[in-house]
Amino acid sequence: MTQPLHHWLAAAVANDGVDLKLSGVLETIAAACAELAGVLRLAPIAGQTGLAGHTNVQGEAQKELDVISNDIFIKHLRKNADISILVSEELDEALHLENHGAFAVACDPLDGSSNLDVNVTVGSIFSILAVDPGSPDLLQPGTKQLAAGYAAYGPSTSLVLTFGTAVVCFTLDENGQFVLSQDNITVPAASGEFAINTARERFWDEATKAYVSQNVAGETGPAGKRYNMRWIGSMVADIHRILMRGGIFLYPLDSETTDKGGRLRLLYEANPMALIMEAAGGGATTGHGRILEVQPKAIHQRIPVIVGSKDEVERVNALYSHQG
């Protein structure tokens, strides 16, 4: 029998000690993702796939749909009095909503937006933190996340959630309701797929070069098996594939991103994906330690991201410890 998100959350509150208000925060985020899925589906007809004409705090050109997605998140989050703060990729500063709620949400409202004009999967990523509304501390390591997840807007809309233990996936049905489609997701420990932007090879460090060249060498190389490379250019879509069938995603620190600390953002890209991957039995590292243990210094901080199947992440870690 299909189980709607609302029932699943009610059971988590009744049986697993999940905070009722936290479950409400997840329902609010799910409502934002459901609305956004509808907007994305019709965006080419509405002429909304172009540039918005300004840049965000990251210095990236905002698409019209980046702005629309951010507005949808703000609209929904404002309706929930338990959420006092929003950190968004599209907002320079943390947005203080006018209430005293004990939760903060960090999100990338529309990840992979360069794929919008070619109708390739994009997503929303989110992380939920507990805050004291009087003096909110947003710079908490990922281990402190109460819950995290993402929505992937593909042929169907998936909503993947974790409280840090199990990982579950819901699918948006024809009534605009998320229903459980996969329980207890585990990422296979071994895999023969890796995801990295190979056009950046000339900027890579020794560990990344060694890992990729071992994979490319296939069954005749030290890995002793054949690999395929996949790169969608939407982190959500690449991670979703890896969560479902194994693999590894790498956006390492390279010589071009060293000044910025990496490409992807810690609070609303790396941490939620790391929580999901670890809860599914996979790994998540910077190459020099667990992503989830990094102490953030700024809300838009960037970080190297290497996540996926346990054996692959361990092999990368070993190459980094060798590199020093």
To the nearest whole angstrom, how small is the minimum distance from the Cβ of residue 28 to ligand AHM? 22
Our CB check for ligand AHM shows the closer of 223 and 235 to be 235
The residue type at 158:
S
To the nearest whole angstrom, how small is the minimum distance from the Cβ of residue 179 to Mg ion? 26
The residue type at 5:
L
Our CB check for Mg ion shows the closer of 179 and 266 to be 266
Our CB check for ligand AHM shows the closer of 112 and 252 to be 112
Our CB check for ligand AHM shows the closer of 82 and 108 to be 108
Q: With CB cut-offs between 5 and 8 Å by kind, which of ligand AHM, Mg ion, none does residue 254 bind? A: none
Q: Is 66 in the site for Mg ion (CB under 5 A)?
A: no
Q: What is the DSSP letter of 266?
A: I
Q: Which of residues 106-125 bind Mg ion (CB under 5 A)?
A: 108, 111
Tokens of 70: 């951010």
Q: What is the DSSP letter of 211?
A: H
Q: 176 with 151: CB under 8 angstroms?
A: no
Q: With CB cut-offs between 5 and 8 Å by kind, which of ligand AHM, Mg ion, none does residue 164 bind? A: none
To the nearest whole angstrom, how small is the minimum distance from the Cβ of residue 121 to ligand AHM? 10
Our CB check for ligand AHM shows the closer of 110 and 128 to be 110
Q: With CB cut-offs between 5 and 8 Å by kind, which of Mg ion, ligand AHM, none does residue 206 bind? A: none
Phi then psi for 306, rounded to 5 degrees? -135, 105
CA distance 23 to 1: 22
Q: With CB cut-offs between 5 and 8 Å by kind, which of Mg ion, ligand AHM, none does residue 193 bind? A: none
Site string for Mg ion, 174-203 (x = CB under 5 A): ------------------------------
Q: With CB cut-offs between 5 and 8 Å by kind, which of Mg ion, ligand AHM, none does residue 2 bind? A: none
To the nearest whole angstrom, how small is the minimum distance from the Cβ of residue 43 to Mg ion? 18
To the nearest whole angstrom, how small is the minimum distance from the Cβ of residue 268 to Mg ion? 8
Neighbouring-strand partners of residue 100: none
Give the interface with ligand AHM as residue ranges (CB under 6 A): 60, 89, 108, 111-113, 197, 233-235
Our CB check for Mg ion shows the closer of 82 and 111 to be 111
Our CB check for ligand AHM shows the closer of 82 and 111 to be 111
To the nearest whole angstrom, how small is the minimum distance from the Cβ of residue 269 to Mg ion? 5
**Which residue of the chain is nearest ligand AHM when measured via CB?**
235
Listed in sequence order, the residues at least 6 apart from 38 whose beta carbon sits closer than 8 Å to its beta carbon are 176
Total Cβ atoms within 10 A of residue 55 = 11
Q: With CB cut-offs between 5 and 8 Å by kind, which of ligand AHM, Mg ion, none does residue 82 bind? A: none
Our CB check for ligand AHM shows the closer of 173 and 203 to be 203
Q: With CB cut-offs between 5 and 8 Å by kind, which of ligand AHM, Mg ion, none does residue 197 bind? A: ligand AHM
Token pair 């989110």 is found at 126
Helix (H, G, I), strand (E, B) or coil at 270: helix
Tell me which H or E stretch contains 128. Answer: strand 122-130
Tell me which H or E stretch contains 62. Answer: strand 61-63
Per-residue H/E/C for 147-200: EEEEEEECCCEEEEEECCCCEEEEEECCCCCEEEEECCCCCCCCCCEEECCHHH
Distances from the Cα of 240 to the Cα of 5, 121, 134, 210, 256, angstroms: 19, 10, 37, 25, 27
End-to-end CA distance of the chain: 52
Positions in the binding site for Mg ion (CB under 5 A): 108, 111
